[in-house]
Structure 1
Amino acid sequence: MAVMKRGANVALTREVPGLTGVVIGMAWNAGAETALSDNLVSAALLCDASNRALSEKHFVFFNQLASPDLSVTDLERAVGEDQDQIEIDLNAVPANVDRIVVVLYVNDGPAQRRTLGQLKSCVVRVLNLADNGELVRSEDLAPALSSETAIALGEVYRHEGGWKFKVLGQGYSRGVGGILADYGLTV
């Protein structure tokens, strides 16, 4: 298991020949802030080569649990130490999808005055879909957060005929709307 800092990347399919799928796990600790923890939402955006989401249907989250092609799925129940998990069938990802960005945000509504800066820890990790073995995990991303209400955790992307993973750790003070705008969608 390798611990990766923001901006670091790893060649998944080169390191694990025959890798056909991954699970992106997200783990966080909100301490006593149950209103924050209960209103955190993970999601995935399927993007083209220009870093734009293909469509609103390519935003996978609790109201849309899978991409149209079923290559990316938000798992209903996470296993192990993760609070949420997103499964990616690498072989089924359409050719026009260049990257899959995994994000975490505070859902609007009851948690309006909550921020990710209240998290005690926040980690994203990559598991091998075949055996749930951990391939990599990010450093704790929480210490760099303050008033942000959303964060792009990491991305799985095509590179030279294979797949890589990069830790992003980019916070957004405008929540999910800020992330969606960066990837060409509106709320």
Structure 2
Amino acid sequence: MSCLAGGLRGQLAARPDQLTAVRPARRPHDVGNHVVTHGGDGEEPDLYAMDPLVFEALVADLFRAMGMQAVTTRSSNDGGVDVDALDPTPIRGGKIVVQVKRYRNTVPPTAVRDLYGTVQHRGANKGVLVTTSGFGPGSHTFANGKPLELLAGGELVDLLHRHGLRGRPGDTAAPAPAAPDPRPEPEQYNVLGMSWTGRVALDVCALVCSGTRVLGDDYFVFFNNERTPDGSVRAQDATPPDKAALRVAFDDLPPAADRLALVAAVDPVANPDADPSGFTDARIRLLDPSMAELGTLEVSDGRSGETALVLGSFRRRASGDWDFVLGGRGCTGGLEQLLPDYGIAVE
């Protein structure tokens, strides 16, 4: 009974003796041959070739395999929700709304913002956006600190396989993101160690730019992208007294790059109510690979009400040398407000 009414969204008649035939809304030949392929024999089913409703059902199957209650919603009046799920785990569980995007191109930040609105409207504990493609830094930046989870294609396939389900991106899927450059890690580099007084927690990010425009999403190094494709810039664990650190091989930066901008933003998870006025006595220590200090660069203090600020930028001169130019610009809208100035869409 619970399987029929809950899992299959069936309805029970009060007078079964008066039932009449109902014309089916969808026949098997209208759906195609992928109705049960994610649980049957044969080759891995192509996620892109699946009937859309079957793909949504597969995602619901995944949530159930992970120990949750999950049902697909009706095709209309669902408020943009494809799967309703309930995590019975005490304390961290609750109601989850799931949206499914069978895309070949990167999911735009607007979809993540729409999901957040749905989570608030439905009073859900969490929103999950599942896609066959991926997400750009604008999406990750918006989702950071919010009850949202972004599940990209590679992670989706991995979860399917781990829980006894099957699926592949398909031969016609969009090209995978560029793999890291096969060259070995640069041997000549500097460590930029950043320190400040006060207990405010900040995310420090780097943008490899031509002028004021980042070379591409992969050249924005932040909490969800810890290195550039060529390895010229990457995050590194900080060593006291530093609170954040980046490794930069200036000689290995792309020829088109003439600027490395450093920005910092309040960490909405670790310190959501932080006041950046506590970002004082800030400085950048320039270190060699042995962590010997080569010099110190002063950085402007934070100001009350600001949630993101430009620390400064290294700029390539005609001679090939890199000079540091102090920043100081701040904004009250966090990275969402700051990143568009560098050509990164956070809609």
- The reply to whether TM is greater than 0.5 is yes
| One of 272, 279, 289 as aligned partner of 1:119 | 279
Identical counterparts, % of pairs: 29
Aligned residues of 1:58 and 1:67 also touching (Cα < 8 A): yes
Counterpart-to-counterpart distance in 1, 2:306 and 2:323: 26
| One of 163, 177, 184 as aligned partner of 2:336 | 177
Aligned residues of 1:128 and 1:135 also touching (Cα < 8 A): no
Counterpart-to-counterpart distance in 1, 2:343 and 2:238: 29
CA 1:113 to 1:73, structure 2 compared with 1: closer, same or farther past 3 Å?
Answer: same
- The residue identity in structure 2 corresponding to 1:115 is D
Counterpart-to-counterpart distance in 2, 1:91 and 1:110: 34
Task: Report deviation, 1:182.
Answer: 1.2
Ranges in structure 1 where 5+ consecutive residues have no aligned partner: 1-19
Q: Which moved more, 1:59-68 or 1:107-116?
A: 107-116
Q: Is residue 45 of structure 1 aligned with residue 207 of structure 2?
A: yes
Task: Report deviation, 1:42.
Answer: 0.8
Counterpart residue number, 1:154: 312
Counterpart-to-counterpart distance in 1, 2:268 and 2:326: 25
Counterpart residue number, 1:7: none
Counterpart residue number, 2:180: none
Between 1 and 2, higher relative CO (CA 8 Å, sep ≥ 6) is seen in: 1
CA 1:166 to 1:127, structure 2 compared with 1: closer, same or farther past 3 Å?
Answer: farther
Three-state SS of the structure 2 residue aligned to 1:125 is strand
Task: Report deviation, 1:84.
Answer: 0.7
Counterpart residue number, 1:61: 222
Q: Which has the higher helix share?
A: 2
Counterpart residue number, 1:100: 260
Q: Is residue 82 of structure 1 aligned with residue 242 of structure 2?
A: yes
CA 1:95 to 1:115, structure 2 compared with 1: closer, same or farther past 3 Å?
Answer: same
Counterpart-to-counterpart distance in 1, 2:307 and 2:239: 25
- The residue identity in structure 2 corresponding to 1:87 is R
Aligned residues of 1:78 and 1:85 also touching (Cα < 8 A): yes
Counterpart-to-counterpart distance in 2, 1:127 and 1:176: 27
| One of 161, 164, 168 as aligned partner of 2:327 | 168
Q: Which has the higher strand share?
A: 1
Counterpart residue number, 2:190: 22
Aligned residues of 2:191 and 2:291 also touching (Cα < 8 A): no
Task: Report deviation, 1:152.
Answer: 0.9
Task: Report deviation, 1:95.
Answer: 0.3
Aligned length: 158
Counterpart-to-counterpart distance in 2, 1:122 and 1:90: 23
Alpha-carbon displacement from aligned partner over 1:68-125 (angstroms, at most 9, x marks no partner): 11100110x1124110111110121010111111111013356433231233443233
Counterpart residue number, 1:71: 232
Counterpart-to-counterpart distance in 2, 1:118 and 1:172: 15
Counterpart-to-counterpart distance in 1, 2:270 and 2:287: 32
Ranges in structure 2 where 5+ consecutive residues have no aligned partner: 1-187
CA 1:110 to 1:88, structure 2 compared with 1: closer, same or farther past 3 Å?
Answer: closer
- The residue identity in structure 2 corresponding to 1:181 is P
Counterpart residue number, 2:35: none
CA 1:90 to 1:119, structure 2 compared with 1: closer, same or farther past 3 Å?
Answer: closer
- The residue identity in structure 2 corresponding to 1:44 is A
Aligned residues of 1:103 and 1:152 also touching (Cα < 8 A): yes
Task: Report deviation, 1:129.
Answer: 3.9
Counterpart residue number, 1:6: none
Higher Rg? 2
Task: Report deviation, 1:25.
Answer: 1.6
RMSD, matched Cα: 2.0
- The residue identity in structure 2 corresponding to 1:53 is V
Counterpart-to-counterpart distance in 1, 2:265 and 2:341: 14
Aligned residues of 1:105 and 1:151 also touching (Cα < 8 A): yes
Aligned residues of 1:127 and 1:136 also touching (Cα < 8 A): no
Counterpart residue number, 1:17: none
Aligned counterparts, 1:6-17, within 5 A: none
Task: Report deviation, 1:174.
Answer: 1.3
Alpha-carbon displacement from aligned partner over 1:26-84 (angstroms, at most 9, x marks no partner): 112224xxxx42xx2111001113x1011111110121110111100110x11241101
Three-state SS of the structure 2 residue aligned to 1:169 is coil
